[in-house]
Amino acid sequence: MQYRQFGATGVTISRLGFGSMRLPTKEVGDARVVDEDLSIAMIQTALDRGVNYVDTALFYCDGESEVVVGKALADRRDEVSLSTKYPVSNDKSLREVLETQLGKLATDHIDFYHLHGIGAWFLTHEKRDAILADAARAKDEGLIRHLSFSFHDKPEVMAQLIDLGVFSSVLCQYNLLDRANEDALANAKAKGLGTVVMGPVGGGRIAGLPPDVARKAEISVAGSVELALRFVFANPNVDCAISGMSTMEQVLENTAIAANTETLTEAESAGVKAMMEENKRLADLYCTGCNYCVPHCPEEINIPHIFQAMNYLRVYGLKEYAFNHYNAIGGKWVKGKKADLCRECGECETHCPQKIEIRRQLKECLEVFGAAA
Ligand code: SF4
Ligand code: SF4
């Protein structure tokens, strides 16, 4: 495992962090629940292989993630920096939520306590001062070691949040398909913050590149995850990349990649550059596949799947693959409805951290793919 100095915090952090938002699940009766045994084994294997940063949040895995992480760290708490998050929109105060989380995580402190997904709105938020006062008190009492924030707003907003002068580290999106935060990360690093990026493999899209795409980008399929991680690791302004791992194979693969000290090869760099050129065309339709919009759509439109199909067509020119992808919606394997049933209520757009004009984009998708299956 490779390690970095985590900003000015004095903490040494592994380049790979364990993201606990996509823990493996299993069916129990009619319900699907986190597979605790496998999740614990995965987290502990990651620790055995040098990972020392574990990230979770109050609502990950329907609230189960923190409990499972707590069990995984029961005898190994001192080996890791533990990160979790306070959802600022929560009705309860930071203090109340923090106490709940300490209980769920079975620990007496959080190392990096994040304000979850804050943006420009936080600067004038009515509860801002109360939240920061709660955080300062929790810090004084040793319940949290550092206050941090996670971030989905426009890159230029990150500097304004940093200038509040209260944060030790930042967590944001960054990968080879989405380098929008590159300058903001450099600024964060220069200001002494620790920097953690999420989505280093593009929410699985890089890992799932179909062979035609990989060939076009001159990347071997077997190497696409490695390329994506090494691309992120090669940025000196990124201290740690958290990968949401769902299988033991991913833990083994990702930790092996994070142990590699070699820089990108020439061929890999050429592949990255080719992907970057293609990425320019992605600019106005960048959906991370976060799914935040989906539960709010009264028509159950599978928005991220539709946008993914559009990207396969527009960015990679994979016509047949894109149409098949789109037409799979509503079938055996892909839930939800196609774009033709959108009634333009706009509900989805209020929940999209990427601020995508979903209604307009869906109309374009409908024009391309049509209403028919
Ligand atoms: S605008 Fe369309 S996709 Fe968005 S929530 Fe309404 S019906 Fe669903
Ligand atoms: S909320 Fe936005 S980014 Fe997330 S899946 Fe929906 S459209 Fe994509």
Three-class SS string for the chain? CCEEECCCCCCEEECEEEECCCCCEEEECCEEEECHHHHHHHHHHHHHCCCCEEECCCCHHHHCHHHHHHHHCCCCHHHCEEEEEECCCCCCCHHHHHHHHHHHHCCCCEEEEEEEEECHHHHHCCCHHHHHHHHHHHHHCCCEEEEEEEECCCHHHHHHHHCCCCCCEEEEECECCECCCHHHHHHHHHCCCEEEEECCCHHHCCCCCCHHHHHHCCCCHHHHHHHHHHHHHCCCCCCEEEEECCCHHHHHHHHHHHCCCCCCCHHHHHHHHHHHHHHHCCCCCCCCCCCCCHHHCCCCECHHHHHHHHHHHHCCCCHHHHHHHHHCECCCCECCECHHHCCCCCCHHHHCCCCCCHHHHHHHHHHHHCCCC
Q: Which residues contact 250 (CB under 8 A, 6 or more apart)?
A: 243
Q: How far apart are CA 259 and CA 171, in angstroms?
A: 22
* Cβ-based neighbour number of residue 27 at 10 Å: 9
Please state the atom number of ligand 2 nearest to the C-alpha of residue 292.
1
Residue 74 structure tokens: 């029961």
Does the Cβ of 290 fall within 6 Å of ligand 2? Answer: yes
Q: Whose CA is nearest to atom 8 of ligand 2?
A: 287
Give one DSSP letter per residue of 259-275, joined into a string: T------HHHHHHHHHH
Please state the atom number of ligand 2 nearest to the C-alpha of residue 289.
5
Q: Whose CA is nearest to atom 5 of ligand 1?
A: 297
Does the Cβ of 289 fall within 6 Å of ligand 2? Answer: yes
Closest ligand to the CA of 362:
1
Please state the atom number of ligand 2 nearest to the C-alpha of residue 294.
6
- Write down the pTM of the prediction: 0.72
**Pocket around ligand 1: residues whose beta carbon is below 6 Å from it?**
296-299, 301, 303, 342-348, 358-359, 362
CA of 304 to the centre of ligand 1 (A): 12
pLDDT of residue 325: 87
Q: Whose CA is nearest to atom 4 of ligand 1?
A: 348
Does the Cβ of 88 fall within 6 Å of ligand 2? Answer: no
CA of 339 to the centre of ligand 1 (A): 9
CA of 104 to the centre of ligand 2 (A): 29
Does the Cβ of 354 fall within 6 Å of ligand 2? Answer: yes
Helices H, strands E: what count in the chain?
13, 12
CA of 322 to the centre of ligand 1 (A): 21
pLDDT of residue 231: 78
Q: How far apart are CA 164 and CA 265, in angstroms?
A: 40
Whole-Å CA distances, 192 to 6, 162, 188, 220: 9, 10, 7, 37
* pLDDT per residue of the chain (373 residues) written in tens, 0 to 9: 999 999 999 999 999 999 999 899 888 888 888 999 999 999 999 999 999 999 999 999 989 999 999 999 999 999 999 999 999 988 999 999 999 999 999 999 999 999 999 999 999 999 999 999 999 999 999 999 999 999 988 899 999 999 999 999 999 988 876 778 999 999 999 999 999 999 877 655 554 444 444 455 555 534 667 777 887 888 889 999 999 888 999 999 899 888 877 666 666 666 666 666 655 555 445 787 788 999 999 999 999 999 988 887 876 667 887 898 899 999 877 889 999 999 999 999 999 988 889 999 999 999 999 855 4
Handedness of CA 200, 204, 205, 211 (dihedral sign): positive
Residue 309 structure tokens: 């199909």
Q: Whose CA is nearest to atom 8 of ligand 1?
A: 297
Determine the 3-state secondary structure of 244 from DSSP: strand
Please state the atom number of ligand 2 nearest to the C-alpha of residue 358.
7
